[in-house]
Amino acid sequence: ELLFMLGEVVETRSLETGQHIRRVAKVARFLAIKAGLSEDAADLIEMAAPMHDIGKVGIADAILNKPGKLGPAEFEEMKKHANIGFRILGNVERPLIGVAAAIAHEHHERFDGQGYPNGIQGTDISLEARIVSIADVLDALASSRSYKKAWDDERIKDYFLAQRGLQFDPYLVDILLTHWDTVQALRDASFPRNSSFGDFQ
């Protein structure tokens, strides 16, 4: 509960809703189970996922809430949130916080090695971060943000197909697309995208 509350603080500061982190957590747990992880490992991912953007506490409001595309310098500043999140969480010697630290640090790494902050690739990226990356991007694309309108399902599926093996782990993309209807039902049944409950905007 504390991790969810802290995650909601970060999301509220960036004009998002607590529903975002809860949907990400639920989808991440589902993907973890379908990827063959144990119930306990999937539970850890679900509990840790809300902290994936905790490093945004160190990013200026003007960058977090800019209603358009970030410029090169602004994007470089935004990228720092991955390392900030790792510094916040990385010194706590608890399994749950260790998973949260890895996710915060690596959820913007890409399968092809073109991500940040360290440009690691493939299975060198923790499985937990690869899973949360997909859940996070899915919810971001499907939701309206200060800088974009929500995408429809077909456009989102096309994006994941195009980024299979590039931005995302191809095995996890296949799981997502195979279970697409179940994932969407899980997201909408648990925390509807159009609900006002818990919305701080």
Rounded to the nearest 5 percent, the helix, strand and coil shares of the chain are 65, 0, 35
Q: Is position 56 annotated as part of the catalytic site?
A: yes
Written as six digits, the tokens of 127 are 């499985």
How many angstroms separate the CA atoms of 65 and 84, rounded? 18
- E strand residue ranges, the chain: none
DSSP 173-196: HHHHHHTHHHHHHHHHHHS-TT--
Q: Which of 56, 69, 80, 149 is catalytic?
A: 56
How many angstroms separate the CA atoms of 49 and 75, rounded? 23
41, 32 Cβ separation under 8 angstroms: yes
Which are the contacts of 33, defined by CB distance < 8 A and separation ≥ 6? Answer: 39, 42
How many angstroms separate the CA atoms of 176 and 14, rounded? 27
Active-site residues: which are they?
Answer: 56
